[in-house]
Amino acid sequence: MLRVDHIWAKRGAAVALRNVSLSLSAGKTLAVVGESGAGKSTLIASILGLLRPSAGAITWDHQPVSSCRPALVMQEPRSAFNPVWPLMRAVREPVLGQEQSVTNERIARLCRGLELPMELLERRPREVSVGQVQRVGILRALIAAPPLILFDEPLSALDAVTQKHTARLIADMQQEEGFAALIVTHDLGYALAFADSIAVLKDGQIESISDPGSFVTNPGSSYCQALRDAAVALGSIEVAA
């Protein structure tokens, strides 16, 4: 279980996270929703250990998070891959020392699950569509079977149709592999449709944490209400009267 315990973090001189606490059980999905600048990227960097919080603790099963080798799916699919490498080489990076045949088998299985043709992995990131690169990114995140995967705006670089497809595939893979997913997104509709619980982040602080059902019926703070109403107006969610 992921436990984020009262963390404070700075980006440069500015305070980016104030007293943030979260928890995420194994196999579950937590969506962190907020606008740009709310501190979402700082939260991800802190959980992954890329940034040291100035106060507070982050653990996975009472150990430092790095002990579970969490994986990350990035917002910009192409930049997550070395531009001069075939995708296959990057996919193998997390399992470099392991048995080749086992890895090959796993790649083949994950490719089927993610609806990726194997030949695609021989190409370079620039020669493949963004949607496909993002699925390769998910494949790489899954390859070492980590218990925790972070998704940083996994859909925002994709077009609407691909977004739906990719969201569906992430959910399917989670069913199959059983990882815990922390999804950072500004898309409330996506969060409501796929997450077990929703945390709203605003100006570096947690505004509310609730399950999707109670979020829609009873958003709580005025900010959360505005967020819900905007999503309703756009038609991305429906509220039973």
- Indicate whether 100 belongs to the interface with another protein (CB under 8 A): no
Residues near 201 by beta carbon (within 8 Å), at least 6 away in sequence:
20, 32, 33, 34, 38, 39, 40, 43, 207
CB nearer another protein, residue 85 or residue 234? 85
Q: Pick out residues in 1-60 that bind another protein (CB under 8 A).
A: 12-13, 48, 50
- Indicate whether 239 belongs to the interface with another protein (CB under 8 A): no
- Indicate whether 202 belongs to the interface with another protein (CB under 8 A): no
Residue with tokens 């709203």: 200
- Indicate whether 81 belongs to the interface with another protein (CB under 8 A): yes
| Distance of closest approach, residue 13 Cβ to another protein, in angstroms | 8
- Indicate whether 135 belongs to the interface with another protein (CB under 8 A): no
Maximum Cα–Cα distance across the chain: 56
- Indicate whether 147 belongs to the interface with another protein (CB under 8 A): no
| Distance of closest approach, residue 144 Cβ to another protein, in angstroms | 8
- Residue in 144, 169, 171, 232 binding another protein, rule: CB under 8 A: 144
Q: Pick out residues in 50-79 that bind another protein (CB under 8 A).
A: 50, 69-72, 74, 76, 79
Report which secondary-structure segment, H or E, holds 23.
Answer: strand 14-24
| Distance of closest approach, residue 99 Cβ to another protein, in angstroms | 17
Q: For residue 124, what are its two tokens?
A: 């370079």
CB nearer another protein, residue 34 or residue 70? 70
From 89-97, 159-167, 178-186, 211-219, give the range in contact with another protein by CB under 8 A.
89-97
Helix (H/G/I), strand (E/B), else coil: 8: strand
| 8 A C-beta contact, residue 49 and residue 60 | no
- Indicate whether 184 belongs to the interface with another protein (CB under 8 A): no
Integer Cα distance of 148 and 172 in angstroms: 15
Among 219, 171, 211, residue whose Cα is nearest residue 192? 211
| 8 A C-beta contact, residue 212 and residue 195 | yes
| Distance of closest approach, residue 107 Cβ to another protein, in angstroms | 15
| 8 A C-beta contact, residue 29 and residue 183 | yes
CB nearer another protein, residue 83 or residue 235? 83
Integer Cα distance of 238 and 31 in angstroms: 18
Q: What letter does residue 196 receive in the DSSP assignment?
A: S
The number of CA neighbours under 13 Å toward the Cβ of 106 is 20
The backbone region for 201, taken as left when phi is positive above 0, alpha when psi lies in -120 to 50, beta otherwise, is beta
With CB under 8 A as the rule, give the number of residues binding another protein: 22
- Indicate whether 127 belongs to the interface with another protein (CB under 8 A): no
> Which residues contribute to the site for another protein (CB under 8 A)?
12-13, 48, 50, 69-72, 74, 76, 79-84, 90, 93-94, 96, 140, 144
